A and B are shown apart, each in its own frame.
Chain A
Amino acid sequence: KAGVTQTPRYLIKTRGQQVTLSCSPISGHRSVSWYQQTPGQGLQFLFEYFSETQRNKGNFPGRFSGRQFSNSRSEMNVSTLELGDSALYLCASRQGGGTGETQYFGPGTRLLVL
């Protein structure tokens, strides 16, 4: 079974621009979560989607948004990019909506904001 895939793998943007990242979960998985990883803050939860509905949201500004499609694929959008948004953005999928299920991570999208 193919793992979680993320596109693009690398991205360079300038301040003020917006960016959209894509995530395809493991086949059959219905939940997708997004995380931001930086050297200073580590891995931080952004939001989770299940059956096209956002179920949980972390402490990030409204510039960070996401959505999930009927095929469970998910996109994350960051508007008005800031230098501090440079990070590795990770997507994780799990099979259903149950608590305690293992999340499987993709390779990440490395975003550099200049």
Chain B
Amino acid sequence: EDQVTQSPEALRLQEGESSSLNCSYTVSGLRGLFWYRQDPGKGPEFLFTLYSAGEEKEKERLKATLTKKESFLHITAPKPEDSATYLCAVQEYGNKLVFGAGTILRVKS
């Protein structure tokens, strides 16, 4: 059974305090790893797709990296508007996404 584990469950940061979120996975044949951001009461908003170990992608204060067993979402100098739940999902054969439980991020000014 595919497993996606995200850590920590919750993270409180001061504005400007950089940190990283972790997503570890076990799938038989990774076809893609996806990061989403979800605000309360809304649908997940797409951030990044990673396909192979060593790949990195950046967008504003966010940078996603991928190894053979895990992915990191690095947040540099976060702002209060970065507060959200960050979801990681993997896709193997069959196209369905398997999601982790998410990391709830709170950034205080």
Chain A residues at the B interface, C-beta cutoff of 8 Å = 4, 31, 33, 35, 42-45, 48, 55-56, 58, 90, 92, 97, 99-108, 110
Given contacts A42-B101, A102-B49, contact A90 B44 (CB under 8 A): yes
Q: Does B59 contact A (CB under 8 A)?
A: no
Q: Which of B41-98 contact A (CB under 8 A)?
A: 41-46, 49, 51, 87, 89, 91, 93-98
A-binding residues in B (CB < 8 A): 31-32, 34, 36, 41-46, 49, 51, 87, 89, 91, 93-102
Contact pick for B97, options A4, A103, A107, A108, CB 8 Å: A103
Is the Cβ of A102 less than 8 Å from the Cβ of B34? yes
A-B contact count (CB 8 A): 60
Closest chain A residue, CB of each to CB of B49:
A102
A48, B43: Cβ atoms closer than 8 Å: no
Q: Are B94 and A108 in contact (CB under 8 A)?
A: no
Closest to B93 in A: A99
Distance from A100 Cβ to chain B, minimum over Cβ atoms (Å): 4
Collect the chain A residues with CB atoms within 8 Å of residue B101's CB.
42
With known contacts A45-B97, A48-B96, A100–B31 Cβ distance under 8 A: yes
Q: Are A100 and B32 in contact (CB under 8 A)?
A: yes
CA distance A43 to B34 in the complex (A): 14
Decide: B94 and A105 in contact? CB cutoff 8 A. Answer: no
| Residues of B contacting A35 in the complex (Cβ-Cβ under 8 angstroms) | 97
Residue of B nearest to A107 (CB): B43
Task: Report whether B91 and A100 are in contact in the complex, using a CB–CB cutoff of 8 Å.
Answer: yes
Shortest Cβ distance from A46 into B: residue: B96
Point out the residue from A43, A99, A110 that lies within 8 Å of B99, measured CB to CB.
A43
Q: In the bound complex, how far is the Cα of B97 from the Cα of A102, in angstroms?
A: 10
Closest to A48 in B: B95
Residue of B nearest to A108 (CB): B43
Find chain A residues with CB under 8 A from B91 CB: 99-100
24 contacts between A and B (CB under 8 A): A4-B43, A42-B99, A42-B100, A43-B89, A43-B97, A44-B99, A45-B96, A48-B95, A56-B94, A56-B95, A58-B96, A92-B97, A99-B32, A99-B91, A99-B95, A100-B31, A100-B32, A100-B91, A102-B32, A104-B46, A105-B36, A105-B43, A107-B42, A110-B41
